[in-house]
Amino acid sequence: MSPAYSEKVLEHFKNPRNVGELENPDGVGVEGNPVCGDLMEIHIQVQDGRIADIKFKTFGCGSAIATSSMVTEMAKGKTLEEAMAITRGDVANELDGLPPQKMHCSNLAADALHKAIKDYWEKHGGGPPEEAGA
Ligand code: FES
């Protein structure tokens, strides 16, 4: 079985961006997939409400590595609210699609990012306007 991967997926898999960890992350998100056992950790550094730096470590399949790499590229420089709005569908679209059986891998990347942002909000206060104003 060899699902058809886009060139972008293969490129990000071979040359993943923002791999590693931050020394003093402002927020950390860990997400695991109980089915395949893959695990992803995302660290963010926040400055003026924006993601100034972001790193990831993924113990998982090629699609998980490619989607983590892409999600870090998409989130960098964005406000926390904008990064929170990134969905797994957005990540897959930016990669020119993923094979259907690999869509859950992009879920891991988006969820880990969202958890890192929530972790930041928990530690430093803040959150989306609808929650703050509710
Ligand atoms: Fe587990 Fe892709 S197979 S994240």
pLDDT digit string (tens) for 45-95?
A: 999 999 999 999 999 999 999 999 999 999 999 999 999 999 989 999 999
Catalytic pick among 10, 36, 85, 132? 36
Asked if 14 and 88 touch (Cβ cutoff 8 Å), the reply is: no
How far, in Å, CA of 118 to CA of 102, rounded? 26
Whether 111 has a pLDDT exceeding 90, the answer reads: yes
Domain 7-121 has CATH 3.40.190.10: no
pLDDT digit string (tens) for 11-28?
A: 999 999 999 999 999 999
How far, in Å, CA of 12 to CA of 128, rounded? 30
Instruction: Please give the structure tokens belonging to residue 7.
Output: 């060139």
Query: pTM for the whole thing?
Result: 0.91
The CA 104 to ligand 1 mean position distance, Å, reads 7
How far, in Å, CA of 35 to CA of 97, rounded? 22
User: Which residue has its alpha carbon closest to ligand 1 atom 2?
Assistant: 105
Task: Determine if ligand 1 sits within 6 Å of the CB of residue 103.
Answer: no
Known catalytic residue: 105?
A: yes
**What ranges do the domains of the chain cover?**
7-121
**Which atom belonging to ligand 1 lies closest to the Cα atom of 108?**
4
User: Which residue has its alpha carbon closest to ligand 1 atom 4?
Assistant: 105
